Structure 1
Amino acid sequence: MLLSVGVVAVAVVAGVLGADDDSTLVPPPTATERADTVPLLARAAATQGICYGWRLEDGLDVVSVGSNLGDGVAVADDPRCPRWAQVVADITYTAESSEANDYASVRIEGSADLERLDLITVDSGLDRFGLTEDAFLDDPGWAVTRAAVSLPLLLAETGAVSPAPVATAAPAAAPSPLPDAGSDLWRDRWGYFLGAAGLLLVTALLVTVGLVLRRRQRTQRAAGPARGQRRGGGTRAAGRTPERA
C-alpha cells in the first residue's frame, strides 16, 4: 500500500515538473508561417541582391532557422550569400514558480559589408510593424518570421540596398476614355448665366411690347386728321350757294 502511494506521488511530481518544463519551451513558427515567409524572402533577395533570413533561439538551443534559401537553411556563412541580413530572436521563458520575468532579445545581424549603424536602424524600425518585445514573447514564431519579411523594406530605407520593385498587374483591357467634363466656366457660373438669360428674355419682351404700342399710336395719329379733313370738306361743299349772274 505504501509502495503504491509512493509511486503515485512520484508520478504526480513528475507530471507537474514536466508541465513546468513544457511551459518554458519556445514555440517555433508554424509550417504555414515558414512556407509563406520563404518565397517572400526569395523574391526580395532576387531583386535586391542580398539574402534574408531568421533565427529563433532559446538560450543556446536553436528553435528555428530559415531564409530565402529555404526552411532550415541559414544565410550566415553560406557561400551562396556573400551579402546577407537576418533577424535573431532569443526568447527565454521562466517557470511560473520563478521570480524572474520572461525575456526577449532581438537583434539584426548582417554581413561585413553592411554598416553596423544601418543594422541598428533596422532593429529600431521593427517597432513600426508592431514587432515589440511583447510581440516576440506572445508569439515568437510569428514575430520572427514577420520581422524577416520586414528586413527588405527597412534595409532599403537606410540606403544599404536598392528598394524592391513593386509588382503591379497590367489591366485586362484598356480603360475607356472618360466623357468630356465640359468647361469649368459653365459648371461654376451656371446660376449667373441662367439669371442673365432670364433678364434678356424679359428685356426682349418689354422692347417688343413697346414697339408694338408705339406703332399702334402712330397709326392712330395718322388716321385721325385724314378723317377730319374729309368731313370738313364735305360740309363746306354742301353749304355753298350758287352765285348770281
Structure 2
Amino acid sequence: MTAGKPAAKNRTAAWAVWLTIGLVVAGCVAAGVLNNDGNSTVPAPAADERADSVAILQRTSAEQGLCYGWELVDYYDYGAPLNVGSNLGDGVAVEENPGCPRWVQVTANIGYVSESSESNDFARIQVTGSPDIDSADLWQVEQGLERLGLTEDVFVDDPGWAVTRAAVMLPLLAVEAGLAEPADTPVPAAASPSPLPDAGSDYLRDRWGWLLATVGLLLLAALFVTVGVVQRRRTTAPGRGATPGAPSRSGRERRAAVPAQRAGAGADGRTREKA
C-alpha cells in the first residue's frame, strides 16, 4: 500500500499537466476562431450621409440633365449591393433605370479579409456610365476622384462616407470631362477630405491570436520546468529510493559508529589498567 502512493501521486500530476495542456490548446483555438470572425463586415453609409447626398445630387442632376448615383458592394458577398443611391432617392440605382437615360455612377467594391490573414483589406473603385458616354471620359472622372483625395485607403477606412462623398463629386468631375454643363447651384467644394482618426497599426490586430498562443506555450513550458524541478528534488532527497521502512544510510552509519566508539573506549580503559 505504501509503494502505491507515489505512483498514484505521479498519475495525478500527469493528469494535471495534460489537463493544463488541453486548456491552453482550447484557449488558443478559441482565440483563433474569434480572431478569424473579427470585424469583416463592410459598413453602409449612415442615414444622414445618404440623405445629404441625395439632396445635392437632385439639385445638380435637374440642372445638368445627367443622373448621378453610387453603389457600395462587399467583395466577398456575391448577392445584392450593400447600398445604392442616386438623385432619384436613397436605395434607387441609376443603372438601367428608365428615369435616367444618361447617368454616371461610382461603384466601391470593398474587401475586408480576416484578421489572421496575411493579405490586406482592399478597395476597387470604378466609375461607369450609360452607353452613350465614352469610356475615356469615365476614366477621367475616376482619376479625378483620386486626385481629390478619395483614394483606396480612404474607402477602406470608411466605405460609407467615401462612396457618398465620391457621388457628390461626380457632377464637378463630369463638367471637367465635358459630359455636362456647369450647374447654377454650387457643387460642394472639392477639398481634400478631412483626415480620418489614426486606426493604429494592423500588426497586433492581425496577430493577437498568435501572440496569445505564444504566451500560453511559454506558461506551459514554465509549468513543465517547475514540475520537473519538484520531482527531481523529491527523488534526490536523503533516504529516497530505499525500501519502505528501511533505515536511511546516514542512520546506519551513525549506529555503526556508536559500537566502534564504545570498543575504542573499552580498549583504552584496559590499556590504562595494565599500565
- TM-score interval for Structure 1 and Structure 2 normalised by the shorter chain: 0.5 to 0.7
Equivalent in the alignment of 2:40: 24
> 2:105 & 2:67 partners in 1: Cα distance?
8
1:124 and 2:140 matched: no
Q: 1:73 to 1:102 in 2, by over 3 A?
A: same
Equivalent in the alignment of 2:158: 139
State the AA in 1 paired with 2:159: P
Q: 1:30 to 1:16 in 2, by over 3 A?
A: farther
C-alpha displacement of 1:53: 0.4
Q: 1:29 to 1:14 in 2, by over 3 A?
A: farther
Q: 1:11 to 1:128 in 2, by over 3 A?
A: same
C-alpha displacement of 1:19: 6.1
Q: Secondary structure at the match of 1:42?
A: helix
Equivalent in the alignment of 2:73: 57
Which has the bigger relative contact order, CA under 8 A and spacing at least 6?
Answer: 2
Equivalent in the alignment of 2:49: 33
Q: Pick the aligned partner of 2:92 from 39, 63, 73.
A: 73
Equivalent in the alignment of 2:133: 114
Percentage of identical aligned residues: 54
Summarize deviations over 1:107-145 as a string: whole Å, max 9, x none: 001000111000000000012321001100000000000
Equivalent in the alignment of 2:105: 86
Q: 1:77 to 1:18 in 2, by over 3 A?
A: farther
Summarize deviations over 1:31-58 as a string: whole Å, max 9, x none: 1100110010111110011110000000
Q: Which moved more, 1:88-97 or 1:21-30?
A: 21-30
State the AA in 1 paired with 2:85: G
State the AA in 1 paired with 2:95: A
Q: 1:16 to 1:97 in 2, by over 3 A?
A: closer
Summarize deviations over 1:85-121 as a string: whole Å, max 9, x none: 1000000011110111111100001000111000000
Checking the alignment, whether the CA contact within 8 Å between 2:104 and 2:127 is kept in structure 1 is: yes
Q: Secondary structure at the match of 2:82?
A: strand
- Kindly report structure 1 stretches of 4+ aligned residues shifted beyond 3 Å: 9-22
> 1:10 & 1:88 partners in 2: Cα distance?
42
> 2:181 & 2:109 partners in 1: Cα distance?
29
Q: Pick the aligned partner of 1:97 from 97, 112, 116.
A: 116
> 1:106 & 1:63 partners in 2: Cα distance?
15
Q: 1:66 to 1:13 in 2, by over 3 A?
A: farther
Q: 1:131 to 1:49 in 2, by over 3 A?
A: same
Checking the alignment, whether the CA contact within 8 Å between 2:72 and 2:108 is kept in structure 1 is: yes
Q: Secondary structure at the match of 1:162?
A: coil
C-alpha displacement of 1:160: 1.2
Q: Secondary structure at the match of 1:23?
A: coil
> 1:24 & 1:122 partners in 2: Cα distance?
29
Q: Secondary structure at the match of 2:58?
A: helix
Q: Secondary structure at the match of 2:136?
A: helix
C-alpha displacement of 1:166: 3.5
Checking the alignment, whether the CA contact within 8 Å between 2:60 and 2:185 is kept in structure 1 is: no
Q: 1:12 to 1:65 in 2, by over 3 A?
A: farther
State the AA in 2 paired with 1:69: L
C-alpha displacement of 1:21: 3.2
Which residues of 2 match residues 183-198 of structure 1 at below 5 A?
A: none
> 1:157 & 1:64 partners in 2: Cα distance?
27
C-alpha displacement of 1:16: 6.4
Checking the alignment, whether the CA contact within 8 Å between 2:49 and 2:161 is kept in structure 1 is: yes
Over aligned residue pairs, what C-alpha RMSD do you find? Answer: 2.6
C-alpha displacement of 1:22: 4.7
Equivalent in the alignment of 1:156: 175
